[in-house]
Amino acid sequence: MNTCTALKTKAQATIILLMGLAVTQPADANVQESDNAQTFEAVCDLFQLAEGKLPDDVSLEDGATEIKKLQAINMSLAPKTWSGMFAKGIFEPQPWDEAKTAGLNPQEKWKDNWPEWQAAAIDTNPAKEPGKSIASSHFPKLTGQAAKLAQVRIEKILGKAQRHQKAIEDTKNTLKTLTNDYLSKKMNEAAYGVENGKGTFDNSGAVGAGNGVVTQCDTVGTVNGKQSLAYAMQCLCFDANQGSATKACRKDLTINQGWDTATANLKAAFTEIRALCATGGSKKVTAPAIRSAVNRIHSAVRMIGGAGYLGAFKTGNCDGTAGAGFCVKYASKIT
């Protein structure tokens, strides 16, 4: 038997062995310890980000002053027949209609841009900035073709600067609404289903509905129109009866809470669920970190019989029993 044939034979034998193992290995009938460990870790990651501290609000530098100077430089390089239309006397503004009366022949289509060009012409005044700096530069020494070439370059730079300034202004307008206060409320809502505080997850009394019962695990984990991460964490980890101790989320830790005790004291019950998350300092909240955590959760959802399941599911409902499932059910799909 040559080497090639021997390798093929070994490969075939290996494949047959692996297929045999796959066929003969029995599937677990019930939810086992740590079946939800990786899924819970992903949800915890996003939950901890939602509880994290946002970076300070950013402030963007305004380029208006630099653009104003570029416009003045551009105007200083223009022919006097052009720049002279916008000012009269000692750098006094000359309106469009006065320029027309003076026989300077300004075109009708220039009216909209006239105030901007007029301001640039006034700014070339060497008695004040930015005209003073321009007068002491090399620009006034340029003549003829050199001045034309310089003006072309300045116009290109000015165009880019104006586009960047427009982007800065648009971003500033967006940031007016996306303040840290606004984002903090949205993050808290993602964590607990409310904009401020912990809602019923901070309730030491009876919570006989909503976040305190398993029912919503089978309906997208929705409580009062919100799908909180805190409730999803309970769906992944709580036994219907705390005495069952399935340990679906972490086999190394035992919690003394379940859906049966959550209705009596949800604060105490959720505190133990929260303690199952990996310990560590406050997470740094960044867009990539949030996207990564969300993607991990999405990738953990399995489609079974036309429905999506986050967490371990066997049959029936996500009811916190080992024979059925520790999960959140999405009736048709994940979006």
Classified as helix, coil or strand, 325 is strand
Q: In terms of domains, do 326 and 233 share one?
A: yes
- 256 CB neighbour count, 10 Å cutoff: 11
Q: Which of 78, 84, 72, 70 is nearest to 147 (CA)?
A: 78
**Residue 186 covered by a domain:** no
Q: In terms of domains, do 36 and 116 share one?
A: no
Q: In terms of domains, do 106 and 171 share one?
A: yes
**Residue 2 covered by a domain:** no
Provide the domain count of the chain.
2
Q: In terms of domains, do 168 and 265 share one?
A: no
**Residue 299 covered by a domain:** yes
**Residue 171 covered by a domain:** yes
**Nearest-5° Cα angle at 264, 224 to 267:** 70
* Final residue belonging to a domain, choices 114, 143, 177: 177
Q: In terms of domains, do 320 and 207 share one?
A: yes
Ordered per-residue pLDDT tens for the chain, 335 residues: 444 444 344 444 433 333 333 333 344 689 999 999 999 999 999 999 999 888 876 666 778 889 999 999 999 999 999 999 999 999 999 999 999 999 999 999 999 999 999 999 999 999 999 999 999 999 999 989 999 999 999 999 999 999 988 888 887 777 777 788 889 999 999 999 999 999 999 999 888 899 999 999 999 999 999 999 999 999 999 999 999 989 999 999 889 999 999 999 999 999 999 999 988 767 888 889 999 999 999 999 999 988 999 999 999 999 999 999 999 999 865 54
Strands across the sheet with 325-330, in order?
301-304, 307-313, 325-330
**Residue 16 covered by a domain:** no
- What length does the chain have? 335
**Nearest-5° Cα angle at 160, 159 to 166:** 90
Classified as helix, coil or strand, 133 is helix
Write out the residue range of the structural domain in which residue 131 sits.
64-177
Q: In terms of domains, do 149 and 229 share one?
A: no
Q: In terms of domains, do 70 and 92 share one?
A: yes
**Residue 82 covered by a domain:** yes
Q: In terms of domains, do 207 and 152 share one?
A: no
